[in-house]
Amino acid sequence: MANLRATQKLMTRRLLLDHGLALFQDKGYAATTVDEIAASAGTTRTTFYLHFPSKSQLMQALVEDLDDIRTADDDPPLAEVVARGDRALIEQWLNRKFDQWGAVRAHLVAAYQAAAIEPEIKATVETWFEAVTSALHEGLDRAGRFDAASRPVRSMLAFGQFEYVARRWLSTGWTVDRTICLRTLSDSWCHLLAG
């Protein structure tokens, strides 16, 4: 009986997450209410609050899901990709990220919308950005590549380029040929990170 209750609780939580994400995608994060999420999931406001103390906590859980999806295919991890400095490996890593964007588009849009009005989501997104920049920097440190003082800047510039392409894709899709974008971004990352 306890296993059944635990399973039902997990299923309800997943329903709230899925319906919350769908509503964020349709209406936007700010315009979506807790009552709408609960009703869409076929439950009540009270049940919502048993699972999440607030809408921002539901969004926090979606960001954690996003992070799991984002890093699941990172083999080798980004720091190792940078440490090796191999152009094919860099391009392969970037291509996997491009492939993931379709699957995580709703998560990313909702996260960026929530970060604009929810301080804890903004902090989470910033931590996520810092983690990627740190992985780039760690790879440069492992390789001993470039002057140590330039490594943080190189890491920041490489991630900034990637993030700009990601945000443009989120708002407009591929307005330039994806293959050309991938090759050009790979060229730039190789210049900044592989030398």
**Same domain (yes/no): 166, 125:** yes
* Domain region containing 30: 1-52
**Same domain (yes/no): 85, 46:** no
Count CA atoms within 13 Å of residue 163 on its CB side.
Answer: 14
Question: SS3 for 45?
Answer: helix
Cβ proximity of 158 and 105 under 8 Å: no
Q: Which of 52, 70, 86 is the last residue of a domain?
A: 52
Can you give the pLDDT at residue 66? 86
Can you give the pLDDT at residue 1? 66
> pLDDT band at residue 73, thresholds of 50, 70 and 90?
confident
**Same domain (yes/no): 79, 43:** no
**Same domain (yes/no): 21, 86:** no
User: If residue 153 lies in a helix (H) or strand (E), which one and from where to where?
Assistant: helix 151-172
Cβ proximity of 185 and 165 under 8 Å: yes
91/185 Cα distance (integer angstroms)? 8
Q: Tell me if the pTM is above 0.85.
A: yes
Can you give the pLDDT at residue 3? 85
**Same domain (yes/no): 48, 82:** no
**Same domain (yes/no): 59, 48:** no
Give the domain CATH number at 104: 1.10.357
**Same domain (yes/no): 85, 152:** yes
**Same domain (yes/no): 47, 86:** no
Read out DSSP for 92-139? Answer: HHHHHHHHHHHHHHHHHHHHHHHHTT-HHHHHHHHHHHHHHHHHHHHH
Can you give the pLDDT at residue 108? 94
Domains of the chain: total:
2
What would the mean pLDDT of 122-131 be, rounded to a whole number? Answer: 93
